[in-house]
Chain A
Amino acid sequence: MSDNILEVKNLKKHFKSKNGTLHAVDDVSFSIKRGQTLGLVGESGCGKSTIGRLILGLHQATSGEILFNGQDICKMNKKQIHDLRKDLQIIFQDPFASLNPRMSIGEIIGEPLLIYKKVKRAELDSEVRRLMDVVGLSKRFINSYPHELDGGRRQRVGIARALSLNPQFIVCDEPVSSLDVSIQAQVLNLLKDLQAEYGLTYLFITHDLSVVKYFSDKIAVMYLGQLVEIAESDELFKKTVHPYTQALLSAIPAPNIRQKMQRVKLIGELTSPIDPEPGCRFAKRCLYSQAQCIGQDLELKEFGNSHFCSCCRADELLNTTISK
């Protein structure tokens, strides 16, 4: 088996809408090594959640391949997708909307075990209790309903449910965005511990760059459906190449008064992903854009240390203005 548990190749997802075709994901390729975490970052509407859903087979890709352990998810039928879910799970963003309000915590965590006949009914209760223990949920909640729990605990239920089938890969779609900072840190630590213990691989989707740096081995930055930069996490923060990544990093307000924002300015606002012009979608907001940025297809180029960037002026920019 290859080193990469997941390989995404030239993935595209277009949605038809009244006003034209919405290019949610356009020609995105990346891979994730077993046991590692890839952070997928970008602003709302850039297609990060769509990628997560495509990987789970919740959307049909328009074109491209998603190889999970060498098998193409896009070509699977319903039965195969059903089997795949044993190895491939998701933790959703909103722990309020992703738990069935009419099921007790015990039933929610136990449901996948029953569907996949992983345990006998007699053993179900003890397995559910074990899972609750793993995620740090007190067992007295087993007969509680989701509305009785706060956000942090609910998210733990979601994690226990995702873990119940002992998956190899978990898509974490903004798992801590709706939580308070002190609770957020608890959940992040839990996810890290679980990864170490079970050798899990994560695709960690988020808009919060400080969280992603703490959590990921590798980070991929998206802008309007395109992958603009991908690199090892430390490398990306040390040597930021793409103008969008720079703007994104500089926009984070640091909780440090000695470090006032030195913002890399962007022009205007997010453009529409409906029927975009070919070429770099960031060009219209980019300070460095030139005629060459529009029209030609994007290509990820390497800048050493498996650091890839799609900016066609990256070489020049690295040598002149941006080098830190």
Chain B
Amino acid sequence: MNRSKLLEINDLTVEYRTDDEIVYAVNSLNLSLHSGESLGLVGETGAGKSTTALSILQLVADPPGRITSGEILFEGEDLLKAKKDFLRHIRGNKISMIFQDPMTSLNPVYSVGDQIAEVIYLHEKCSKTEAQQKAADMLEMVGIPKDRYDEFPHQFSGGMKQRVVIAMSIACSPKLILADEPTTALDVTIQAQVLELMNDLKVKLNTSLLLITHDLGVVAQVCDRVAIMYAGEIVEIGTVEEVFEHPKHPYTVGLFRSIPALDEKVDRLKPIKGQMPDPTDLPSGCKFHPRCPYMNEVCTKMKPAMTNVAGTHIVNCLIHEGKLDSTEFMEEVNYVR
């Protein structure tokens, strides 16, 4: 694929400092996204997914949050060094964000149409009437009739509200959309409608999408590539084919086994043992080792490096680095799916 890199995150580290402890939310994260591509960022609560997205738009609350190192290149420009004016120009215009909860991300005292028009008016040099006209078109685009322009958020259902948020996020034809759990608060049938809408728009507008979710099913339906996050790091990244068909990291394998399948009969799930590590006191070496069934002494001391296993498939595990011999795991991995 010879597409230009739209977004490149290098060595990003984000911490939240409180009086007596430091939460290590994102640890030396590397990630890149090509234009027109959609990447799923998957992980459990506290893995650092949302912090990563907020860092891109410089929305991490400071204090307590702090980006301590790294660079975020958007179209070649480092956003971490950018001036406030430039960021204001980018936000909502070239990069827009869809938040998880549509109930709280809309302003209850403005009509939905005017909230969409505001984005357009601010970023595009046009008159208020033109902005309103375009906002009405946007509503139609996400499947809401124009005549509901003057209605208020409380008059819409959850799925409709999320459509309004989506309309707002695409209003200025952004290059990149950051969607933070856009369908988690919705019912399945409504979720399916919203996912379909996002898929259509992706094709129509050729925008890139960074989709944050904990639902592997959603990723399978929407994304081209997927990155699995654990304790502030990416542990596995590749195309959806690579990761879903041949998961290589013990954590990814564990995640797939934790989901009850619909098409086969399972008597017992094989969950990952233990809990997420405490982000103020992360384990040494590989951060997954306390929960890993294949861990060895070396895992407690040595930090794994990103290893390319096939094509664009990269895994962060000592077994694949050849630092640790685990025929047992390799057999398991080759057997899965």
The chain A residues found within 8 Å of chain B, CB to CB, are 43-44, 150-153, 180-186, 188-189, 192, 207, 209-211, 213-215, 234, 237, 247-257, 259-261, 263, 266, 269-270
State the Cβ distance, A156 to closest chain B Cβ, in Å. 11
Whether A253 touches B260, Cβ cut-off 8 Å, given contacts A180-B44, A180-B276, is no
Binds A, one of B17-25, B79-87, B237-245: B237-245
- Chain B, residues 255-277, CB within 8 Å of chain A (1/0): the string is 11111111101101111110110
Say yes or no: B220 contacts A257, CB within 8 Å: yes
Q: What residues on B are CB-neighbors of A250 within 8 Å?
A: 192
Say yes or no: B275 contacts A153, CB within 8 Å: yes
Q: What residues on A are CB-neighbors of B157 within 8 Å?
A: 269-270
Say yes or no: A210 contacts B221, CB within 8 Å: no
Q: Majority SS of interface residues in chain B?
A: helix
Whether A210 touches B261, Cβ cut-off 8 Å, given contacts A181-B255, A253-B220, A270-B157, is yes
B187 at interface (Cβ–Cβ under 8 A)?
yes
Give the docked Cα–Cα distance between A133 and B239 (Å): 43
Measured as residues with beta carbon below 8 angstroms from the partner, the interface class of chain B is 35 or more
A152 touches which of B160, B254, B266, B275 (Cβ 8 Å): B275
Whether A188 touches B244, Cβ cut-off 8 Å, given contacts A43-B189, A255-B216, is no
Say yes or no: A185 contacts B258, CB within 8 Å: yes
Give the docked Cα–Cα distance between A256 and B240 (Å): 9
Within 8 A of A (CB), among B189-222: 189-193, 195-196, 214-221
B45 at interface (Cβ–Cβ under 8 A)?
yes
Say yes or no: A44 contacts B187, CB within 8 Å: yes
Say yes or no: B191 contacts A251, CB within 8 Å: yes
Q: What residues on B are CB-neighbors of A186 within 8 Å?
A: 271, 273
Give the docked Cα–Cα distance between A321 and B215 (Å): 31
Say yes or no: B44 contacts A181, CB within 8 Å: yes
Q: What residues on A are CB-neighbors of B241 within 8 Å?
A: 257
B102 at interface (Cβ–Cβ under 8 A)?
no
28 A–B contacts from the bound complex (CB under 8 Å) = A150-B276, A181-B255, A182-B255, A185-B269, A186-B271, A186-B273, A188-B260, A189-B269, A207-B188, A209-B262, A213-B260, A213-B262, A237-B262, A248-B189, A249-B262, A251-B192, A252-B262, A254-B220, A255-B215, A255-B244, A255-B256, A255-B259, A256-B244, A260-B221, A261-B196, A266-B189, A266-B193, A269-B157
